[in-house]
Amino acid sequence: MSGREIKYIKEAFETNWIAPLGPNVDAFEKEIANYLGVSDAAAVSSGTAAIHLALSLLDIKQGDIVFCSTLTFVASANPILYQGAVPIFIDSEPDSWNMSPIALKKAMEDAYKSGKLPKAVIVVHLYGQSAKMDEIITLCNQYGVPIIEDAAESLGSFYKGKPSGTLGKFGVYSFNGNKIISTSSGGMLVSDDRELINKARFLATQAKDPAPHYQHSTLGFNYRMSNILAGIGRGQLEVLEERVKARRLLFERYKNELGLLPGVTFMPELIETSTNRWLTALTINESVTGFPKDYLLKSLADENIEARPVWKPLHMQPLFEGTKYYPHTENMNVSEDLFEGGLCLPSGSNMTIEDQNRVIAIVKNCLKVKV
């Protein structure tokens, strides 16, 4: 917490606005929309809820197909199953670790030939790095398929001058406890289509009809954000730029100290993009280092330092066994390679230089490099 949140929380208590409605919710939505330069935003209970609402608003139903990035957390794809739709997973590409336009092109061509195009494409901006949106938008426009940007991890990142999450039909953000700014739990759905965002608010509030009694003609959800949590979000949003600066500085220190070591490769940053570096991610090439990434993870854990593997690709998850998947190329599965050697180092905005030096020393020790 930054300390600025308490002002808004206190206001919520003093005015007795503690429900999933209220001045903080309204203000947080406006402040996020203004920051992103979009027409409107709806504050909801999680990023997952925001994806689910986006799919509902696009009228995705039982049996419909939705393309989704494979290298991501399961929450990106679970809402596809909520709707009874069928996910098809798209591999990553090496330049951004995000959705491969090459694989997407092949998937679109096959879908067009079969007469069943996807009803949406969910593009994930992994660890804060934007995907190759120009290529992806061109492909999706060619086939008339709307894009949902899962920008859960990329608030504060930019693609060619535009905020990540503002280039598709919908953008989705998460304010979970581990994100660059947090409301403890929460999310935001954004769009330039005000009518659809208003409908999202309606659906997220149990789809209550405008009647003096409780009347419901449409299936709705209990997805609205509380006024207290929105107050936390308002205080957090005020320090977003500081958080991005801190995380980018952490990344630069890691890269300067470790980037030239044999077998270590850091997640790249696309030209004309600026990532918030939500997490500092790298790969360990076992054939060069002589040890797998798990050895480094254990070495850090032995010193009470938590690091994590990169996301396990969704097409490899038991939940999605048998689901169709398109690799980057016939002989190249980028997401699988990244999972095999990839890990995320401690990246908290409040990490001290001393904390970071401990991590760096352990990595160097594993590589037998003199500290």
Q: Give the pLDDT of residue 55.
A: 98
CB atoms within 10 A of CB 37: 11
Per-residue model confidence as pLDDT tens digits over 18-66? 888 899 999 999 999 999 999 999 999 999 999 999 999 999 999 999 9
Q: One of 106, 132, 179, 293 is an active-site residue; which one?
A: 179
CB atoms within 10 A of CB 212: 5
Structural tokens at position 311: 């996301």
Per-residue model confidence as pLDDT tens digits over 284-310? 999 999 889 999 999 999 999 999 999
Per-residue model confidence as pLDDT tens digits over 217-230? 999 999 999 999 99
Q: Give the pLDDT of residue 242.
A: 96
pLDDT over 90 at 371, yes or no: no
pLDDT over 90 at 370, yes or no: no
pLDDT over 70 at 144, yes or no: yes
Q: How far apart are CA 320 and CA 343, in angstroms?
A: 23
Say whether 179 is catalytic: yes
pTM of the model: 0.95
- Taking the domain 5-237, which CATH number applies? 3.40.640.10
Domain ranges of the chain: 5-237, 240-366
Instruction: Concatenate the DSSP letters of all residues of 129-185 into one string.
Output: ----HHHHHHHHHHHT--EEEE-TT-TT-EETTEETT-SSSEEEEE--TTSSS--SS
Per-residue model confidence as pLDDT tens digits over 232-269? 999 999 999 999 999 999 999 999 999 999 999 999 99
Q: How far apart are CA 33 and CA 25, in angstroms?
A: 12
Partnered with residue 123 across adjacent β-strands are 149
Q: How far apart are CA 36 and CA 356, in angstroms?
A: 31
Provide CB contacts within 8 A for 260, sequence distance 6+.
none
5-237 and 240-366 have identical folds:
no
pLDDT over 60 at 348, yes or no: yes
Q: What is the DSSP letter of 224?
A: B
103-129 mean pLDDT: 98
Q: Give the pLDDT of residue 20.
A: 86
Please name the CATH architecture into which domain 240-366 falls.
Alpha-Beta Complex (3.90)
Three-state secondary-structure class, residue 282: strand
Give, in degrees to the nearest 5, the angle at Cα 58 between 134 and 221: 125
Average pLDDT, the chain: 96
pLDDT over 70 at 337, yes or no: yes
User: Above pLDDT 70, what percent of the chain?
Assistant: 99
Burial 179-205 (b: 16+ CB within 10 A, else e): bbbbbebbbbbbbebeebbebbbbbbb
Provide CB contacts within 8 A for 332, sequence distance 6+.
none
Q: Give the pLDDT of residue 19.
A: 85
pLDDT over 80 at 336, yes or no: yes
pLDDT over 80 at 369, yes or no: no
Three-state secondary-structure class, residue 288: helix
